[in-house]
Amino acid sequence: MSIAEIPRTYFGVFTIGFYFFYFVKSVLLVINYLQREDFNLIEKLRKEKIKVYLLLLLFAKLSSLIILITQIFLFIGTRENFDFNTALALGSIGWILILAYVILNKDLFVSASKFSILKNEMILFWSSKRLKKIQLSDQALYNKLDVTSLIDKIINLESNYEFIKDNELDKRFISKTLKVPEYQVKLLFAYHNFLSSTEYKNAIKINQSVRLLNNGYLDSFTVDSLSKKVGFKSRITFYNNFRKFIGVSVSDYVKSIN
């Protein structure tokens, strides 16, 4: 049976029902994702940024559905053939906007993948896309900032833990070590880092603990020894920060890599 032989009302009800079901499922998936308990701090912070994408996605789906319903009502109320081109082509405009947004904000989905020296085991807390609106007083200096290059350099410095462990990893130390103006480091932290100063320092320590765990540190030493080696003054503080940034306990992490 061809479309021409199907009663127009049946065709309309079926098509609207199908696409409406698809839209409702999409809404439920988004709600479920936003209400899901965050695995760790970084996931929570990135979820805040990805909300815009999800809302745009739902808006695109809703726009497509409205356009489709309009075309179906025209089809039912007239003797004209159903215009698939208009119904689907106009609805695709929303998806084109979504694609453009993803291309411009891809680091929100593939976390900082563009950084050339990224280590696989590192917690990712940098974003090549600025995380908030630039203040007018910072605009002129920010325009001189080479964001990707400087983040690359800092990530490389972070991975050299033996060099930085005896120093206070603050903005002044980073500026002096990398031989870049301190204002650039401050701007980078202000607009491209998800963490506060204290969280950042603790995250660096946890990064190093993960490297040591991956290399079998606990085969010869204890967790207490590990916490002191990476710079935590108490084992409890180490445990809390490990779960906060990694999302699981130290013992569960060790089980997962073994």
Q: What are phi and psi of 173, to 5 degrees?
A: -65, -45
- Residue 115 forms part of a structural domain: no
- Residue 76 forms part of a structural domain: yes
End residue of a domain, out of 82, 104, 126:
104
147: CATH: 1.10.10.60
Do 97 and 151 belong to one domain? no
- Residue 178 forms part of a structural domain: yes
The residue assigned the tokens 């970084």 is 42
User: Quick check: 112 and 124 in contact, CB under 8 A?
Assistant: yes
- Residue 154 forms part of a structural domain: yes
Do 59 and 154 belong to one domain? no
Do 84 and 178 belong to one domain? no
Do 27 and 74 belong to one domain? yes
Do 86 and 145 belong to one domain? no
- Residue 121 forms part of a structural domain: no
- Residue 15 forms part of a structural domain: yes
Do 8 and 87 belong to one domain? yes
Do 22 and 85 belong to one domain? yes
- Residue 128 forms part of a structural domain: no
Do 97 and 150 belong to one domain? no
* Residuewise pLDDT in 10s, the chain (258 residues): 445 556 777 777 888 888 888 888 888 888 887 777 655 555 666 677 677 777 877 888 888 888 888 888 877 777 666 666 666 666 566 667 666 766 665 554 444 433 333 334 456 788 888 888 899 999 999 999 999 899 989 988 888 877 777 777 789 999 999 999 999 999 999 999 988 888 888 988 998 898 899 888 999 999 999 999 998 989 999 999 998 888 888 888 888 777
Count structural domains, the chain. Answer: 2
Domain encompassing residue 28: 3-104
End residue of a domain, out of 80, 104, 128:
104
Do 97 and 180 belong to one domain? no
Do 57 and 97 belong to one domain? yes
Beta carbons within 8 Å of 69's beta carbon, 6+ residues apart = 16
- Residue 243 forms part of a structural domain: yes
Do 59 and 156 belong to one domain? no
Taking CA atoms, 133 is separated from 130, 203, 221, in Å, by: 7, 25, 46
Q: How far apart are CA 54 and CA 120, in angstroms?
A: 27
Do 99 and 169 belong to one domain? no
Kindly report the three-state secondary structure assignment for every residue of 109-142. Answer: CCCCCCCCCCCCCCCCCECCCCCCCCCHHHHHHH
